[in-house]
Amino acid sequence: MLTDTENIIEVRGLKKAFDQNMVLKDINFAVKKEEKVVIIGPSGGGKSTLLRCLNHLDGNYTGDVLFKGQNLGQLSKKELQLCRRKMGMVFQQFNLFPHKSVLENITFAPIKLKLLSEAEAIDNAHDLLKQVGLDEKANAYPQSLSGGQQQRVAIVRSLAMQPEVMLFDEPTSALDPEMVGEVLGVMTRLAKTGMTMVIVTHEMDFAQQIADKILFMDNGHVADIGTPDYLFNHSKNFRTRTFLAKVM
């Protein structure tokens, strides 16, 4: 089958169950280069599971997930690793490595995978840290940072791999309210550089601002899909409107 190579990510007929519980029921969508796709919806609707299927962190699904035309389910371990390098992932719980300094968190993978020499990786890490205002924390350990700072480091850690797409799994949900802004700010600036992004979030204002396309997921389905203007202002979909009425 021919694939549209402009699509960085393509999902076709994706279904996934945990035991008897169907959490993804026939999902179809694509993410184009430089596109910002935001996934919203009620908790338990399958948003995070969908995101985790995009870089095959969750396997055991049926259907196809394609990254630049490569079907992740059919790749060898090595090929899958090569794809994952190109797909940065930011987690709700940051998941920084607590036994490594901020700098080591950022440089470990690029050095280990021989993408950069040690000197280049360190220079690159300092550059990226400067961009998120955290260069003075380069030698600190994660537990001495605030949640917002940890999440900014986590974003930098992913960016250091020079990914072609960034996946965000509720990046601000574990943060104190006053720290949400600094992380969303970093993401907004990243969006302006032309990065392709897929974001699961509960921040509706942010979704509206940043998205080219919003997926509304409910009960394992993509219940509604469209531009922010369509979804927030014109959608006739009952479930979309009920959900938005509740959260906004």
Partner 1 sequence: MFDFLQQYYPVFIQGAAQTVVISLIGICIGILLGLVVVAMNLSKFKPFAWLAKTYIAIVRGTPAMIQVMLIYYVLSKALPIPDIRFLGSSLDRVIPGSIALGVNSGAYTAEIFRSGIMSIAVGQTEAGISLGLSENTTLFSIIMPQAVRNILPAMGNEFISLIKESSVLFYIGVQEVTAQALGVGGTLYNFIPPLLVAAAIYFVLTFVLSQLLKLAENRMGRKYVALN
Name the residues that contact partner 1, by CB under 8 A. 55, 57, 77, 81-89, 91, 93, 95-99, 108-109, 112-113, 141-143, 157-158, 161
> What's the min distance (Å) between Cβ of 22 and partner 1?
23
Which token pair is 85?
A: 């390098």
Judged by beta carbon, residue 46 or residue 142, the one nearer partner 1 is 142
**Which residue in 86, 85, 90, 88 sits closest to 152, CA to CA?**
90
State whether the Cα torsion 109-113-116-119 is positive or negative.
Answer: positive
> What's the min distance (Å) between Cβ of 161 and partner 1?
6
Q: Which residues contact 99 (CB under 8 A, 6 or more apart)?
A: none
> What's the min distance (Å) between Cβ of 149 and partner 1?
14
Round to whole Å and give the CA distance between 171 and 152. Answer: 10
Helix (H) or strand (E) holding 25: strand 21-32
Which token pair is 106?
A: 């950022």
Q: Any idea what DSSP says for residue 55?
A: T
Judged by beta carbon, residue 55 or residue 149, the one nearer partner 1 is 55
Judged by beta carbon, residue 51 or residue 184, the one nearer partner 1 is 51
Judged by beta carbon, residue 48 or residue 201, the one nearer partner 1 is 48
> What's the min distance (Å) between Cβ of 119 and partner 1?
20
If you search the block for the tokens 């985790």, which residue do you land on? 52
> What's the min distance (Å) between Cβ of 209 and partner 1?
26
> What's the min distance (Å) between Cβ of 247 and partner 1?
26
If you search the block for the tokens 């400067």, which residue do you land on? 130
Which token pair is 27?
A: 């999902």
Round to whole Å and give the CA distance between 11 and 124. Answer: 33
Judged by beta carbon, residue 55 or residue 240, the one nearer partner 1 is 55
> What's the min distance (Å) between Cβ of 145 and partner 1?
11
Q: Which amino acid is at 46?
A: G
Judged by beta carbon, residue 49 or residue 235, the one nearer partner 1 is 49
Q: Cβ distance 95 to 176 under 8 Å?
A: no
Q: Any idea what DSSP says for residue 22?
A: E
Judged by beta carbon, residue 101 or residue 227, the one nearer partner 1 is 101
